[in-house]
Structure 1
């Protein structure tokens, strides 16, 4: 139990201490007054520490606080724009988050700017998450707060495949399990698991009826770690092996030898270019 949990789960410390010192000073009457005063103390501490953004507000490292702030609103904007249209409900949720964080007028303006950047087609999600994790990786309470803020946003809006994909990229970069493995997600969206099972069965049937798998296309801002199928914490040697493995798997020469169609070869060529770019991006981030 940490310091925060001590005062949110056990709201009796103030009354106990107040009663003890009150009794020492004025006997039974003092103990009674001590309990009354301690009760106000407990209520104040409980309210203070149970505030959802308490960990952010009391973070002493300005770089960590800045990274959390900027990433929070950029990702809210990115999720809001994921399906093409930002709803009034999405905007209201973001305004509520600003209120919970107790932002002043200047901070609200900055939050709006980051929200708009997250909506931009040029927004680089992997780089943003990479920088976020670099700053908060030793702050598990901030990691939980960040993920919960984004998850609750998706929960109050319409759950879509694009939003799930973004959430999974967030979880991957923050060294957390994929969304479907989280108990809370299964509780909130029990239908999703059944739908996935049905969709998977249909895809397997379609695949068995084809000689070649359908080509896979990716956006230029897809997570490079996902493209190489490695963890962000993988070693340089492991990432290099993964890069070579993916390049070998999608190499156009192999498909030509197998008599693949022109469209499949073209898709494979594009894929190898994306894999190479992903590897170069990771090397740049890591300073290799």
Structure 2
């Protein structure tokens, strides 16, 4: 249990503000201790001064991803059963067991605590990824998928997503575009566009009717982020760009935790399926 911050807060608070100052100092010290607890085991104070190793970067990304998911789940005031199930399903698809699963669960719980240092954690994500756009985009998309646990993005979740996007260097417009693409992926998968396979970061398709080919095609265009009147070259260019950003092997080489490989594969398959459907219906070569 960390109490160093509380002790210092009480001491200096009492020194400069008496009893009231001590109380205020204790509260501030408590937040400091919580931030230190979250950062414990991090790489900010590498004793050799040579920067974090690949394993340390991956561990930071992994822990931060589940912590921010917990913070996002808590943003509505109460974590719902569907959000807990999504987090558990994410752990299942990553084949997390034993200590790895415990670490993910603990990070998720820390994210739910009041006073969670979101901006500080996001800064550490930027450091751990080396500022790589595709890794930070993957992190953001994980959070969007968590917000879609119940099929909709609540206003308070959207507010947190905007903070996450800003902390990672994305604009509001870029975030909203990603949300729209995720909504489209959700529709496409649920409508049968994935042939009954899981996609969209593991959203299920039980209880949904097969949509018309027109609706599936419309969703497929949205998955690629292009308009329905886009020509074959525009569709192919969008497909190649998305596949380049989401290719599992490329993400792994840049520092994606190996536990998240299956999630990256699901996303790339989602893009591939949307592209294949457009080619089939439109007769693109």
Larger radius of gyration: 1
Which structure exhibits the higher relative contact order, with contacts defined as CA atoms closer than 8 Å and separated by 6 or more residues? Answer: 2
What is the TM-score of this pair, normalised by structure 2?
0.42
